Amino acid sequence: MQLLDGKATAESIRVELAEQVKIRKQEGKKIPHLAAILVGNDGGSLTYVNAKVKACDQIGFESTLIRYDDSVSEEVLLAKVKALNEDKSIDGFIVQLPLPKHIDEMKVTQAISPLKDVDGFHPVNLGNMVLNLPGFLPATPAGIIELIKRNGIDTSGKHCVVIGRSNIVGMPVSIMLARNTNPGNCTVTLTHSKTKNLKEICQSADIIIAAIGRPGFVTAEMVKEGAVIIDVGTTRVNDSSRARGWRLCGDVDFENVSKKASFITPVPGGVGPMTIASLMINTLRAMELKGK
Ligand code: NAP
Q: What does the pLDDT read at residue 290?
A: 82
CB distance 169 to 231 below 8 Å: no
Minimal-distance CA residue to ligand 1 atom 8: 164
47 lines ligand 1 (CB under 6 A): no
Distance (angstroms) between ligand 1 centre and the Cα of 242 equals 25
Q: What does the pLDDT read at residue 43?
A: 87
Whole-angstrom CA distances from 236 to 6, 70, 215, 239 are 19, 21, 9, 9
CA–CA distance, 128 with 115 (Å, rounded to integer) = 12
Stretch(es) of the chain classified as CATH 3.40.50.720: 139-272
213 lines ligand 1 (CB under 6 A): yes
pLDDT tens, residue by residue, 140-166: 999 999 999 999 999 999 999 999 999
Distance (angstroms) between ligand 1 centre and the Cα of 166 equals 6
Stretch(es) of the chain classified as CATH 3.40.50.10860: 29-113
Q: What does the pLDDT read at residue 18?
A: 98
Predicted model pTM = 0.97
Q: Is 290 a catalytic residue?
A: no
Q: Where are the alpha helices (DSSP H) in the chain?
A: 6-26, 43-59, 74-86, 105-111, 123-130, 139-150, 170-178, 198-203, 254-257, 271-289
Q: Is 29 a catalytic residue?
A: no
Percent of the chain's residues with pLDDT above 70: 100
Mutate to test the pocket of ligand 1, among 48, 94, 121, 169 (most ligand atoms within 8 A of CB): 169
233 lines ligand 1 (CB under 6 A): yes
Q: At the top level of CATH, which class does the domain 139-272 belong to?
A: alpha beta
216 lines ligand 1 (CB under 6 A): no
Distance (angstroms) between ligand 1 centre and the Cα of 213 equals 5
Residue 89: how many other CB atoms lie within 10 Å: 10
Q: What does the pLDDT read at residue 291?
A: 78
Q: Is 119 a catalytic residue?
A: yes
CA–CA distance, 24 with 78 (Å, rounded to integer) = 33
pLDDT tens, residue by residue, 265-279: 999 999 999 999 999
pLDDT, mean of residues 129-145? 96
Q: Flag whether pLDDT at 289 surpasses 90.
A: no
Q: Flag whether pLDDT at 185 surpasses 80.
A: yes
- Residue 278: which residues within 8 A CB-CB, separation 6 or more? 137, 139, 140, 142, 143, 146
Q: What does the pLDDT read at residue 190?
A: 98
CA–CA distance, 284 with 59 (Å, rounded to integer) = 11
Query: Mean pLDDT over all residues of the chain?
Result: 97
Q: Which of 69, 124, 80 is nearest to 102 (CA)?
A: 69
Distance (angstroms) between ligand 1 centre and the Cα of 21 equals 35
Percent of the chain's residues with pLDDT above 90: 97
265 lines ligand 1 (CB under 6 A): no
pLDDT tens, residue by residue, 210-246: 999 999 999 999 999 999 999 999 999 999 999 999 9
Q: Which helix (H) or strand (E) holds 235?
A: strand 235-238
At residue 256 the predicted structure's pLDDT band, cuts being 50, 70 and 90, is very high
Tell me which architecture the domain covering 29-113 has in CATH: 3-Layer(aba) Sandwich (3.40)
Of 52, 80, 116, 158, the active-site residue reads: 52
Q: Flag whether pLDDT at 292 surpasses 80.
A: no
pLDDT, mean of residues 25-51? 95
Distance (angstroms) between ligand 1 centre and the Cα of 121 equals 16
| Strands laid side by side in the 92-95 sheet | 62-68, 33-39, 92-95
pLDDT tens, residue by residue, 87-127: 999 999 999 999 999 999 999 999 999 999 999 999 999 99
pLDDT tens, residue by residue, 54-76: 999 999 999 999 999 999 999 99
